[in-house]
Each structure stands twice: as C-alpha cells, then as structure tokens.
Amino acid sequence: MPGVIKRISAIVQSKANKALDKVENPVDMLDMSYEQQLQNLQKVRRALADVATARKRLELQAQQLQQQADKLQQQARQALAQNREDLAREALTRRGTIAEQLQSLGQQHQQVEQQQQQLELTAQKLQAQVDAFRTRKETLKATYTASKAQASIGEAVSGISESMTDAGMTLQRAQDKIAEMQARAGAIDELLDTGALPDLTGTADDDITRELNATATANQVDTELAAMKAELAAGQPAGSLGPAQDAAGQAPNDQAATDQAGTAATRGDSAEPASATDGAGPA
C-alpha cells in the first residue's frame, strides 16, 4: 500500500510539473527573481542602517559615561583637598563602576562595528550580483523574445501552428468529401446506365433501347445522305441555287423556260374543252 501511494504521489507531481511548465513564462520568472534579489538587497541595507544606528547609540552612551567618570574623578580630588577621604573614596568607587560599564560598551561597540563592516561587504557583493543578474536577465529576455518570434514565424510558414493545422485538416476533409460525392455520383450513373438501378422518373431507357435508338438515328442519317447524293447527281439540288448554276452556264434557265412553256400549253388545252362546254350549256 505505501508503494501505491508513493507512485500516485509521483504521478500527480509529474502531471503538475508538466502543467506548470506549460503556463510558466521565462520572462515573468526572470523579472520575479530580479525583484526578489532587490528585496534581499533592501533587507541588507536596512540591517546595515540598524547596525550603524546601534553603533552610534553605543558611542553616545560611552561619551556620557566618560563624562560622568571624569566628573567623579574631579570630585574625588576636591574631597581629598578638603580632607574628605570618605567622599573621595565614594567618588572613586562610582568611577570604577562606570569604568566597568565603559569597558562593556567598548566590547559591544567593537562587535557592532565588525557586524557593520560585514554587512557593508555583504551589501556590496549583493549589489554586484544584482547588477550582473539584471544584465543577464535583459539578455535572456531579448533572446527569448527573438526565439519566440522566430518560432512563431516558422510555425506560420510550415503550417505547424494550430490555426494552420486546423485549416489544413478542414481543407483535407472538404477534398475527401468532394471526392466521395463524385465517386458516388459516378457509381450511380453507371448503375443507371446498365439498368442495375431502376429509374423512378420513367424517362431513362435501358442500354439496349439506347443502342437501338442510336442505330435508327444513324440509319436515318445515312438515308438522308443518300437522298442528297441522288439529288446532286440528278442536277436538282434540294436547296437554293449555288455555284453549280454558274458552272453550267444558262442551261438551267433554258430548261426552266421550256418546262414553263410546256406547262402553259397543257393548261391551254385543258381550258378549251371547258370553254366549249360552258358555251353549250345555255343553249
């Protein structure tokens, strides 16, 4: 059981790391690190100011105690001058106590001064590190921005980006759909042509009927061509007069005149009996 829990924890941690890697922005992380270093530098500077203040306070206390010690020394001398050895002893005793305090303050002052010097060195080193990190940060940010822009351009050109991929997939699906519809339409036309599928409209013929109709049409065309050839061979074209008339000269006109005269004579012969009959009628 502990092994299963450990594996589950490792899996969750790996998934979380991957998710964080996706949303993590190097530029933001660099800026945040720079801000943290600036905050650390500010803390060191505040600590240095506090140590310097403590050193100055110790120096002021030492000056005050030294003034008191000097005053007691003078009072002891005045007491001896007045034959007041008891007062002189008391003054010197107090001066000894102040001397012990001054010695203690001197030791504290030395320690605080060492701390101040150490903090000053630390602040200088940290300031140099912050300056170097700032320069490095700006260089990395510029490099990252240029690399990101180059990658975006490359993805746009090669079609690797998500938008280009979606557009390519949409185009491919459209082409596949069109090809499928064309194949389906062609298959249906072939089935209708062969009669495998019935034509519900009733307007389409089967393949045998279509072949018979095509044969009849071809025979009709052959018949018309033969008739036209016969007319041309007989010298009587079916249409308007053309270049054949110019080649034959006036012969067609003479023939036409002769035909008209014969027609008129025939009409005259037919008209005379009719007239005689009409004349006999009234009698």
pLDDT in tens, 169-197: 888 888 888 988 888 888 877 776 666 65
pTM, two decimals, is 0.45
Distance of CA 267 to the CA centre of its chain: 99
pLDDT in tens, 1-31: 667 787 777 777 777 766 666 667 788 888 8
Q: pLDDT at residue 32 above 70?
A: yes
pLDDT in tens, 68-114: 999 999 999 998 888 888 988 999 999 999 999 999 989 999 999 99
pLDDT in tens, 45-56: 999 999 999 999
H runs (alpha helix) in the chain: 2-23, 26-81, 85-158, 162-194, 207-234, 243-248, 251-280
Average pLDDT over residues 239-250: 42
Domain annotation covers residue 268: no
Q: Left, alpha or beta for 241 (phi > 0: left; psi -120 to 50: alpha)?
A: beta
pLDDT band at 208 (very low <50, low <70, confident <90, very high): confident
Q: What is the distance between the alpha carbons of residues 232 and 44, in angstroms, rounded to a whole number?
A: 123
Domain annotation covers residue 78: yes
Percent of the chain residues past pLDDT 90, beyond the cut: 24
Domain annotation covers residue 185: no
Contact between residue 244 and residue 237 where contact means Cβ atoms under 8 Å apart: yes
Domain annotation covers residue 75: yes
Domain annotation covers residue 177: no
Number of domains in the chain: 1
Q: pLDDT at residue 250 above 80?
A: no
Joined together, the tokens standing for residue 82 give: 């007045």
CATH code of residue 99: 1.10.287
Q: pLDDT at residue 257 above 60?
A: no
Contact between residue 100 and residue 94 where contact means Cβ atoms under 8 Å apart: no
Q: What is the distance between the alpha carbons of residues 44 and 176, in angstroms, rounded to a whole number?
A: 69
Domain annotation covers residue 25: yes
Average pLDDT over residues 199-213: 64
Domain annotation covers residue 269: no
Domain extent at residue 69: 2-160
Domain annotation covers residue 173: no
pLDDT in tens, 142-157: 888 888 888 778 766 6
